[in-house]
Amino acid sequence: MKTIPEEARQFFEEAGFGVISTADKEGRVHSSVKGMLHCDAEGVIYIADLYRQRTLRNLKENPYVSIAVVDEHRFKGYVFEGSAQIIEGKEAVAACIDTWHEALARRMATRVIRNVRGGTGRGDQPEARLPDPEYLIKVTVEKVIDLVPKEIRSSDT
């Protein structure tokens, strides 16, 4: 388990979603957008998954994952690599439902504010139609990669 730097952890928490990549036993990669629930400093990430499809099948065959979280406007991002564990059961999922709903509300509020300020994008709130998560993915982080090129990172200091 890798300790996650505070800056990366906070970036993850603010993002609300990321792209998780998994591979099946033949090595075919599948990437899917997932709701990020929590990232603790000790190196554990919790992800909500709404559907029981390829991500779940792949994780049962191969637990290794890569999670990319980026913000193109700030030209910043991180990749978190590690091993995943599937957490099922109504009690485990129910414990995270409030966090899931809060994350959706933040995302929708941010969109409304951007639209009011003249930003482009969707006028509706598609997240409001999403189902609640069916299971959670617990990732034990083994590696954190800062995606900002070193030339830019060094000029920001």
Q: Is residue 55 part of a domain?
A: yes
Q: Is residue 65 part of a domain?
A: yes
pTM recorded for the entire structure: 0.77
The SS3 of residue 35 is: strand
- Residue 92 pLDDT: 66
**What is the mean pLDDT of the segment spanning 133-141?**
87
**Which residues are CB-contacts of 149 (< 8 A; sequence separation ≥ 6)?**
none
Q: Is residue 111 part of a domain?
A: no
Phi and psi torsions of 74, nearest 5°: -95, -5
- Looking up residue 54, the CATH number of its domain turns out to be 2.30.110.10
Domain count, the chain: 1
Q: In 3D, which of 69, 60, 72, 74 has the Cα closest to residue 25?
A: 60
Q: Is residue 120 part of a domain?
A: no
Q: Is residue 81 part of a domain?
A: yes
Q: Is residue 27 part of a domain?
A: yes
Q: Is residue 96 part of a domain?
A: no
Q: Is residue 142 part of a domain?
A: yes
- Residue 67 pLDDT: 96
- The domain in which residue 10 lies consists of 6-89+133-149
For 10-50, write each residue's pLDDT tens digit: 998 888 789 999 999 999 999 998 877 778 888 999 888 87
For 60-107, write each residue's pLDDT tens digit: 999 999 999 998 878 899 999 999 999 887 666 666 777 777 777 777
